[in-house]
Amino acid sequence: MADYYLGVDYGIRRVAFALIDESNHIVVLEDLVLQKDARDVELDVMTRFVLDRVHTWTWDIVSCVIESPILGGSLNASTAVQMGITAGALSVTLNQHNVRNIFVPSARWKKEVVGKGNAKKEEVMAWAVERWPDQEFKTQDQADALAMAVYAAWREDNA
């Protein structure tokens, strides 16, 4: 049986998933973006989106990387709290389906995967396009999630 690795990129109103196999072939690449007026139901919709996907997957997910919530910087306190709540809800939802997950700071997965800890979004996208030239990336979030899935596989190989 093959091993699979999941990367999850999220925001207050969005979540993207990338699932790869042990050969770094893309198995699942999708995202959900909520409308701005969905703020009161966003967490419920996002966790149901996660549950719907993970519940139907039959793959043996060895490891999942979720980007650590960003605290400080240009975020206001309310946004930072929302990001933390979203990250926690995603982790709990995945744990309920026995998907082992860890939070990883963006600088760490970017350094190991893209080669530069402070890589900009465009650089992550360029890395993804170079690696999978036939893949259509609908959002930057998909490229980030894919990089995190690759990091999850790298981390398992180097543990």
Q: How many CA atoms lie within 13 A of 59 on its CB side?
A: 20
- What does the chain come to in residues? 159
3-class DSSP assignment, residue 58: coil
Query: Listing from the earlier edge strand, what are the strands of the sheet with 101-104?
Result: 26-33, 14-21, 4-10, 61-67, 101-104
What pLDDT shows up at residue 93? 84
pLDDT at 41: 63
In the chain, which residues have pLDDT < 70? Answer: 1, 36-42, 71-75, 159
Q: Kindly list the distances between the CA atom of residue 43 and the CA atoms of 8, 50, 78, 134, in Å, as whole numbers in the listed order.
A: 15, 11, 15, 33
pLDDT of 135? 95
Whole-model pTM: value is: 0.89
What pLDDT is stored for residue 157 in this prediction?
Answer: 81
pLDDT value of position 52: 81
Predicted local confidence at residue 104, as pLDDT: 95
> Which residue ranges form the domains of the chain, and what is each CATH number?
4-157 (3.30.420.10)
Q: Give the pLDDT confidence score for residue 72 in this predicted structure.
A: 61
Which CB contacts under 8 angstroms, 24+ apart, belong to 135-141? 135/26, 135/29, 137/29, 138/31, 139/14, 139/16, 139/31, 139/33, 141/9, 141/11, 141/14, 141/15, 141/16, 141/31
CB 42 within 8 A of CB 78: no
Q: Distance between CA atoms of 23 and 48, rounded to whole angstroms? A: 29
Task: For residues 1 and 66, give the distance between their C-alpha atoms in angstroms, rounded to a whole number.
Answer: 24
Per-residue pLDDT at 70: 75
pLDDT in tens, 68-91: 987 666 667 777 787 888 888 889
Kindly report the number of other CB atoms within 10 A of residue 39's CB atom: 12
Pairing of strands 101-104, 61-67: parallel
